[in-house]
Each structure stands twice: as structure tokens, then as C-alpha cells.
Amino acid sequence: MGETTATLERPGARRLGAIRPGLDPLGSVFAALIGLSLLTLPLMTARPNRIAAGESLMAWSALPPGRVLALGVVLGLAAPLLVLRIGPRLRVVAAGGALVILCLAAGWAADHLTLPGDRYGRVSPDAGWWLGFATAALALGDGLARLSPGPGIRIALLAGSAVLSGLALRSGFWDHLSILREYASRSDTFGREVRTHAGLALSSVAAAAAVAIPASILARPVPAARTALLSILNGVQTIPSMALFGMLIAPLGWIGRTVPGAADLGIAGIGAAPAFVALFAYALLPVAAATVAGLDAVPEPVRDAARGVGMTGRQCLLQVELPLARPAILTGIRIVLVQNIGLAVIAGLVGGGGLGVFVFQGISQNAGDLVLLGALPTVAMAGAAAILLDAVIDLGRGPERRR
């Protein structure tokens, strides 16, 4: 008996999914939320058209009886498993099963509630589905975090998830869902707006890194310059995003009208120029602060050793200090890239394009699914960027310094 207990307590046994005595506090919360989503909140909403008020339907009304049973069985098995102190692999399986069955339920409900030949009706997930999906996704993330996969595995999981999601969407299984009907009517512009959104976020962060990193390196050794740089950039961060976008319209419009060649470069009061400048300005402080913090964290004995072997100040900076500060700098870039992917939505208000175009069109037309057509890809893009850069940062640390 003692040998069996010892085996179950070994880390390897826990990784394989062994069940230990007691309840998992976080898993209990996840299970309670999944149960709440299925039993007390409507699963789907059916509307006669895209803007009319809809009817909220519980799971047993939105799905055929056999599909309700499948949903109940899978969630009924997943929730108790999350409550128990199971190994992370079994936790991932339980949460992943809950995610899959909820995605299937959305497609089943859309097919069940859409009349043949009805091009105007709209079926969309309601509060119960969103709560269940978000909870299952958090539980899946928790299970993966407990497994602590290496950076290569995380990148592979991200790529696999993207491929599977693309194939699933192309299968047509969810075509009757309202958000995909909105996509179908805008498929010719959707790809362009995604590219515009990603381009604005990536280019503004790249430009900010090209300016903020050298400026921080130069200002850091001089206390007055360092304080002035960080104070100015901090002041920019205090300006509300909507106000900053608006403030840039007049000066950029003047430049576009009066400076020769500026208009040919796309500089104008309305369009991508104010969006890029605002995103660039917001990206400066996190990158500068991360650079300063990373260089400050380099141990002084390391600098003394570099000088002791005859390195010049420039060699010490390029070959010792910056490589050691790289994880901190990349962390700052990760933070600001995720931030700018979200902020780029506002570019739709000033004619800059991007996924914000769908968000603000949906708001003006009172079409919630059109808002989601812009919001959900933005969330997915930000999440993918965070996972990818986290993996890159871990790769840069080396095996001995990873978590």
C-alpha cells in the first residue's frame, strides 16, 4: 500500500493523470461555472433577422433531444473531473472535451433552428454558451500551464490550433451561425482588413522598438536624460486613446496638404497615418521602460568581468549587457504588441481600416454579430501573439533558465 501511495505522489504519476485525494479549488470554480452555464442560462438566441430582438433558448430548446443528451453527458463528465485533483493531462482532456462539445453544440443548434432556405434568420450563442466556452478555455489553459510545455511544443500547439480552426471553419459546419453569415456577406473585404489590422500593429511596434531601444540605451547612464525620457513617454500614455487619435487629425492633415510628397506617402488627417502615429506613441513607453529595466538588471560583477578582459564600453554593451537584457526587452515588446493589436480597433474610427471597421459598423447598425466579427479575430490575434512571443522569450533564455 505504501509503495502504491508513493507511486501516485511522484511528479511523473501526477503528469500521467493520477487522481489524488481532495478537491481542486480552481477546478471546482470551473465546474460550477460550466454547470451554471448549462442549467441556468440560455444557450442560444434565435432572431428573425440581424437586428430584430431575439428569443433566448435553453439548451433543451435549442438542440434536438439526442444532441442535448450528448452535450449533457460530455459536460457532466468533464465538470466532476475538473473538481478532482487530477493530473494535468487528464485536466486538459476534460477541458478540451468541454470545448469541443460546446463548439459542436453551436453548429447543431444553428442547423436545428434555421429553417430551410431562410437567408434572413440569425442564430447566435447566448450567455450560457459564452460562459461555458470561456470557462472551458480557461480550464484548458490552466491544464496546459500545469503541464509546463516547452516553447517548441507551445508553438506547435498554436500552429495546430490555427490549422484545425481553419479547416473546421471551411467545412461549413457553422455556416448557419449569425457571425459566419455576417462574414459571408463581407468575405471580399475581411482578409484585407485583417492584413491592415496586423500591419498597423506590427509596424507601429517595430518602429517604436527602433526608436525606444536606442533612446533608452543613450539616456540610461545620464539620470536627468533617463528621467526626462521616461516622464515624457509616461505623459503620452496618460492621453486617452480616442483623444490622441482625434488630436492627430489636424496636424497630419496640415502636413499632408502643405508638405510636398506627404500626401503621396499616405499622410493625411484621416486614414492610416493618424492610426499608425498613435499606436507608435503608445508603444514607446513599455519598450523604453523594459529596455532600461533589463539593462539595470545586469549584475555589476558581470560588467566588471567584461571590462577586466579588455572589452570596450561598446563591446560590453553589445556582447554582454544587451544579450542579458534581451528577455526583458522582448517581454516589453510582447506587452506592447498585444496592447496595440487591441488599440488598432480604434483605427476604424479615423478611416485607418482594420477589424475596427466591422466593430463600429456593428455598433452603428445595432448588429451584435457584426461587432463580434471584428472583436473575436482581434482577441485571437492578440492571444496568438502573446503565446508566440512568450515561447520566443523562453527560447532565448536557454534550457537552464526556463521555467
pLDDT the model gives residue 236? 85
In a domain, 159, yes or no: no
In a domain, 182, yes or no: no
Strand 44-47 relative to strand 55-57: parallel, antiparallel, unpaired? antiparallel
pLDDT the model gives residue 10? 47
pLDDT the model gives residue 18? 60
In 3-state terms the chain splits into helix, strand, coil percentages (rounded to 5) of 75, 5, 20
- Written as nine digits, the cell of 192 is 484585407
**Looking at 124, 148, 172, which one is the last position of a domain?**
148
Q: Would you write out the chain's pLDDT as a tens digit for each of its 403 residues?
A: 444 444 444 444 444 456 666 788 999 999 999 999 889 999 999 988 877 778 899 999 999 999 999 999 999 999 999 998 888 899 999 999 999 999 999 999 999 998 888 788 889 999 999 999 999 999 999 999 898 888 889 899 999 999 998 998 888 899 999 999 999 888 889 999 999 999 999 999 999 999 999 999 999 888 899 899 999 999 888 888 777 777 777 777 777 777 776 666 667 667 778 888 889 999 999 999 999 999 988 888 888 888 888 788 788 888 888 888 898 999 999 999 999 999 999 888 887 888 999 999 988 888 888 999 999 999 999 999 999 999 888 887 765 455 4
Question: What CATH number corresponds to the domain at position 320?
Answer: 1.10.3720.10
Instruction: Tally the domains of the chain.
Output: 2
Alpha carbons within 13 angstroms on the beta-carbon side of residue 389 total 20
Total-model pTM: 0.84
Please say whether the beta carbons of 288 and 254 come within 8 A. no
Residues 42 and 144 both lie in one domain: yes
In a domain, 337, yes or no: yes
pLDDT the model gives residue 266? 67
Instruction: Provide the residue range defining the domain that includes 224.
Output: 187-401
**Looking at 95, 123, 148, which one is the last position of a domain?**
148
pLDDT the model gives residue 2? 44
In a domain, 37, yes or no: yes
pLDDT the model gives residue 269? 67
Query: Residue 351: left (phi > 0), alpha (psi -120 to 50), or beta?
Result: left
The per-residue b/e assignment along 13-52, b for 16 or more CB within 10 angstroms, e otherwise, is: ebeebbeeeeebeebeebbebbbebbeebbbbbbbeebee
pLDDT the model gives residue 133? 95
Residues 198 and 129 both lie in one domain: no
Please say whether the beta carbons of 112 and 64 come within 8 A. yes
**Looking at 148, 171, 205, which one is the last position of a domain?**
148
pLDDT the model gives residue 257? 74
Residues 24 and 133 both lie in one domain: yes
Q: Virtual CA dihedral for 50, 363, 334, 399, nearest 10 degrees?
A: -20
Dihedral pair phi/psi, residue 122, rounded to 5°: -130, 130
Please say whether the beta carbons of 275 and 226 come within 8 A. no
In a domain, 244, yes or no: yes
- Written as nine digits, the cell of 51 is 437586428
Residues 207 and 350 both lie in one domain: yes
Residues 74 and 222 both lie in one domain: no
Compute the Cα dihedral for 232, 383, 24, 68 and give only its sign: positive
pLDDT the model gives residue 54? 83
Residues 139 and 192 both lie in one domain: no
Residues 286 and 355 both lie in one domain: yes
Neighbouring C-beta atoms of residue 8, cutoff 10 Å:
15
In a domain, 129, yes or no: yes
Residues 114 and 52 both lie in one domain: yes
In a domain, 363, yes or no: yes
Residues 214 and 302 both lie in one domain: yes
Residues 212 and 303 both lie in one domain: yes
- Written as nine digits, the cell of 50 is 440581424
Residues 77 and 195 both lie in one domain: no
In a domain, 178, yes or no: no
pLDDT the model gives residue 68? 93
The per-residue b/e assignment along 316-338, b for 16 or more CB within 10 angstroms, e otherwise, is: bbeebbbeebebbbbbbbbbbbb
Residues 285 and 391 both lie in one domain: yes
